[in-house]
Amino acid sequence: MAKLYFYYASMNAGKSTNLLQADFNYRERGMATMLFTAGIDERFAAGTITSRIGLEAAATPFDATTEIAACVADRHAHEALSCVLVDEAQFLSADQVDQLAHVADVVGIPVLAYGLRTDFLGALFPGSARLLALADALVEIKSVCTCGRKATMNLRVDAAGKAVAQGRQTEIGGNDLYIALCRRHFTEALGRRHFTEALVR
């Protein structure tokens, strides 16, 4: 039986690299795959999944209106797919995650979704929340805080490197905008009051 997997991590933990390696493994064995990535992320070429170590692959960009299950069904009708891989899965809607579950359960294609678990205030993204609820397997890709402990949180910083405690949930950026930290140092940098307020929203 095909499964829905959610690979989650903090920023800069190698999620895209892991996805591209998994895709390569399938294709090396002559198996067809379909890749999706968030259309909102325009740091690199549109419709491309790019890792920090230079790997990249073409992907279908998605936004809130994308019917992912229909896209997969259309492609699967012309070429038997062995796996569907989704980058930036935190930007999926709850309905799109339900569609991915349908792809695994009904169509019978394994789905590997990669993304952040929480935003810069420690709150769940809608897509991640639904994946945590529905995924058959939850796999943490580990990263390291500056103190050596496991990094689980994503601190947003301004141009001066100071913590940002308010703003839109989604703001695309890399090392210039986010720092991966353990919970202790994230809470200290953000301020316990802001962290607590985010948790009770």
Which token pair is 158? Answer: 């301004």
- Binding residue per annotation — 8? no
Beta bridge partners of 56: 50
- Distance in angstroms (rounded) separating the CA atoms of residues 68 and 103: 9
What are the two backbone dihedrals, phi and then psi, of residue 147, each rounded to the nearest 5 degrees? -85, -5
Is 78 one of the annotated binding-site residues? no
Nearest CA to 9 among 99, 17, 64? 17
CB atoms within 10 A of CB 176: 8
Check: CB of residue 52 under 8 Å from CB of residue 178: no
Q: Quote the DSSP letter at residue 57.
A: E
Q: Is 51 annotated as a binding residue?
A: no
| 10 among annotated binding-site residues | yes
Q: Is 71 annotated as a binding residue?
A: no
- Check the annotation: does 147 bind a ligand: yes
**Residue 162 assigned to a binding site:** no
Adjacent-strand bridge partners of 113:
6, 86
Q: Is 63 annotated as a binding residue?
A: no
Nearest one of 125, 140, 121, 143 to 192, comparing CA atoms: 121
Any known ligand binding at 175?
Answer: no
**Given 28, 56, 79, 88, the catalytic residue:** 88
Check the annotation: does 83 bind a ligand.
no
> Catalytic annotation on 140?
no
Provide the annotated active-site residues: 88
Summarize the annotated binding site for substrate as residue ranges: 178
Summarize the annotated binding site for Zn(2+) as residue ranges: 145, 147, 182, 185
Summarize the annotated binding site as residue ranges: 9-16, 87-90, 145, 147, 178, 182, 185
